[in-house]
Amino acid sequence: MKTLLVLAQHPDFADSVSAALNPEQYRIIHRSNVEEAEPFLAHGLADLAILDVELTSVQGTWFLEKLRRRGPKCPIIIYTGARQWEWEEEAYAQGAAHVLSKPVRARTLNVLLDRLWATPSNPLAVATTSSQSLLPAPIEVMRPAEPAFSLQPAPAGPSHTLGVLRDFSGILTHSLNLEAMLKQFLMLLREIVSINRAAIFLRIPSTPFEEANAARETRRLRAAASVGLSAGLLEHFELSLDSGIGGHLFRLGRILRRNGEEARTDPETRKEFELLGGQVAIPILDRETVMGVAVFDGRITGEPLVNSELELIFRLLEQLGLAVKNIWLHGQLTGNHEMMAGILRELSSACVLVSRDLAILHANKMARKYFSRAERQSGELEFSDLPQALGAKVYQVLKAGSAITGFKYEPEHLPGTVYNVNIVPFQRPASGLPASVLLMAEDLTQSQQLQRLEIEAANLRLVKTMADRLTHEIGNAMVPLSTHQQLLADKWKDPEFRASLDAALADGVKRVTRLINQMRFLARDALLAADAFPLSPLIEEAFQEARKYQPVKAAQLKYETGSTPIVLTGDRAALKHALAEVMLNALQANPTDPKIGVRLHSESTGNGKEDLQIEVQDNGTGFTSEAAQKAPAPFFTTRNVGLGLGLTVSRKIIETHHGRLEIVSPKSGEAGVVRISLPLDAASTHK
């Protein structure tokens, strides 16, 4: 019993073959491709191969050649639908015994099989006899060439050598040496097809880290390899995808001939063909876009390349384009990897990448410095080198998939050292668990020490400034008292002296009392009382309190509270002091004829709540831009007396009541305005 291997995409064809043959003489094995049939071909288990393929393009020839390589001794019968004589001749050249037209005819197939094994010792006689007997048959049988089951090697010719080139094209995609790959490709093409001259031009690959004008560079094509052309010519010669040969191929995407209509009507294209000595230009595609251009001359004998050879070279160049794209992508990945590795290596923070199997994939030099053990000989970091506390958290992130950010870690063996640690998972798309985890550790020891030193220095500067201002203010209050104390024994009985002493005592007590109140309110961080009280009397009392420190008879207060009384809830004494300081600042803005205006209104905060706003306006020259920014800062003053704490104390009191104090941005020629905002949950209205 003979074993027939049927290679067909559809099982119906195998059923037709099986129905046409005697099952006691032939065993039918159906496979859809050569890879599935390889065990039968490699071990000689198939006595004959029946191939269902369309001989209308180069794919059918490639399929036949692949089958011939896997089973060189196995005879082949081809069934095809449409016939083209040039491809049928190629099939015979590749070793096919017979080429038949579909559908399968039982009589013809049985006659061929009987004659195939009738006289196996004389293959040529079998081939001749079968050829003569089949000529008058009712079906169309193509003329057989050399029998496929002959052990003689195929003749060396263009078809055979182009088959070798197709084998080579499969190797091109695995190469990463672009220059050597292109050079070897052209030399092999010259050896097989006898190309006289050839040149390959490629686009300039771009990377994501290049400048913006690099996009224009990718439209230019530079010579990457050549044969039969001067290196000096190609060194200064470029093509472009915008015009000339490159422009035509980019727009058309097909082969361009020098004597074609497109080339003859374009002067630049004609000039480029003339300089390169080429007759045909073929685009190099990566199945998406034009990667480059290959320009070929005719054969060394002067004959032009035929269409079948150009079509085959076109497909080989398509594979070459894919190989070039792979090389570019590999170069970009390598460059990106080197850049990221360099960045991680030079970071001042430790970076450790841990895989799911707890292997260290990457550790920069700071990580090795922080976590490597002194007794380890190798410089590589291992997971066991990580402190137990950090290793446990890395394992937790690998299992849970959620990041751990911003926690402090203090090594037991390094007291005083503090690390800020972040652990971030790296998850693959459509994967529930992370593939790896990045541990980042930043040494905060020095920065915290510097921060403490800076705070201490700032505190010392503040104490120095406060001591200077307090000394100045208390000294101003004590000078009159000291002078009167020295004259007290001699002028006690003088009424004018006693009146002066009384005024000096009152002024000193007043100034010291204000200073004490300012210090007391600055030291508070919470309210001492939360009483409800009306706002109008508080404004009047604050105005009178401010006049004590700026006694001007012409001072006026004008305010509008509306028809509905407003009741505040909070520390009445503190709010009175805050308003008094703001009004004192307004009185000092125009010492000769001070006028103060107070306006009350509400404003929405945007989250469904409202604020009560108290705007205090003076009739002075207004705040400068610098003064508006620095006025609430401690110890800022534009006068020679006072500590410069008035608005600072007011802001502290207002913020304690969850409000805010701001200096309205000044405009040229307008008076100064200080705005106090209090939330309406601390202020209510009563009819």
For the CA atoms of 117, 123, 124, 130, what is the dihedral angle to 10 degrees? 10
Q: Are strands 48-52 and 2-7 parallel, antiparallel or unpaired?
A: parallel
The predicted model gives 288-317 an average pLDDT of 88
Kindly tell me if the per-residue pLDDT of 158 is higher than 60.
no
Q: Is there a single domain that holds both residue 282 and residue 383?
A: no
At 422 the pLDDT is 92
For 76, the enclosing helix (H) or strand (E) is: strand 76-80
What CA–CA distances, in Å, run from 484 to 475, 493, 501, 506? 14, 13, 6, 13
The predicted model gives 1-27 an average pLDDT of 85
The predicted model gives 8-34 an average pLDDT of 85
Q: Is there a single domain that holds both residue 495 and residue 580?
A: no
Confidence of residue 563 (pLDDT cuts 50, 70, 90): low
Helix (H, G, I), strand (E, B) or coil at 531: strand
Query: 193 Cβ partners below 8 Å, 6+ apart?
Result: 158, 161, 162, 299, 305, 309, 313
**Tokens encoding 332:** 């970009």
Q: Is there a single domain that holds both residue 322 and residue 400?
A: no
Q: Say if residue 127 is exposed, middle or buried (CB neighbours under 10 Å; 0-12, 13-18, 19+).
A: buried
pLDDT in tens, 651-664: 888 888 888 888 88
Kindly tell me if the per-residue pLDDT of 599 is higher than 80.
yes
Could you tell me the residue range of the domain that residue 39 belongs to?
A: 2-152
Kindly report which listed range (85-99, 238-252, 394-408, 458-472) carries the lowest average pLDDT score.
458-472
Assigned domain for 515 exists: no
pLDDT in tens, 581-595: 888 888 888 878 888
Q: Is there a single domain that holds both residue 594 and residue 650?
A: yes
* CA–CA dist 242, 222 (Å, integer): 14
CATH number at residue 264: 3.30.450.40
The predicted model gives 248-273 an average pLDDT of 91
* CA–CA dist 207, 213 (Å, integer): 12
Computed over its alpha carbons, how large is the radius of gyration of the chain?
Answer: 49
CATH number at residue 420: 3.30.450.20
Kindly tell me if the per-residue pLDDT of 500 is higher than 70.
yes
Q: Is there a single domain that holds both residue 364 and residue 278?
A: no
Assigned domain for 518 exists: no
Assigned domain for 509 exists: no
Kindly tell me if the per-residue pLDDT of 621 is higher than 70.
yes
Phi, psi of 465 (to 5 degrees): -65, -45
Q: Which residues partner with 617 through β-bridges? A: 597, 673
Confidence of residue 58 (pLDDT cuts 50, 70, 90): low
At 274 the pLDDT is 92
At 125 the pLDDT is 36
Instruction: Locate the DSSP E strands across 572-663.
Output: 595-604, 610-617, 660-663
pLDDT in tens, 503-519: 888 888 877 887 787 77
Planar angle of CA 601, 605, 606, nearest 5 degrees: 135
Contact 137, 96 (CB under 8 A): no
Q: Is there a single domain that holds both residue 239 and residue 109?
A: no
Kindly report which listed range (146-160, 227-241, 318-332, 528-542) carries the lowest average pLDDT score.
146-160
Sequence letter at residue 572: R
Q: Is there a single domain that holds both residue 328 and residue 179?
A: yes
Assigned domain for 103 exists: yes
* CA–CA dist 71, 37 (Å, integer): 10
Domain count, the chain: 5
Q: Is there a single domain that holds both residue 455 and residue 425?
A: no
Does this model's pTM top 0.85? My answer is: no
At 126 the pLDDT is 36
Q: Is there a single domain that holds both residue 487 and residue 602?
A: no
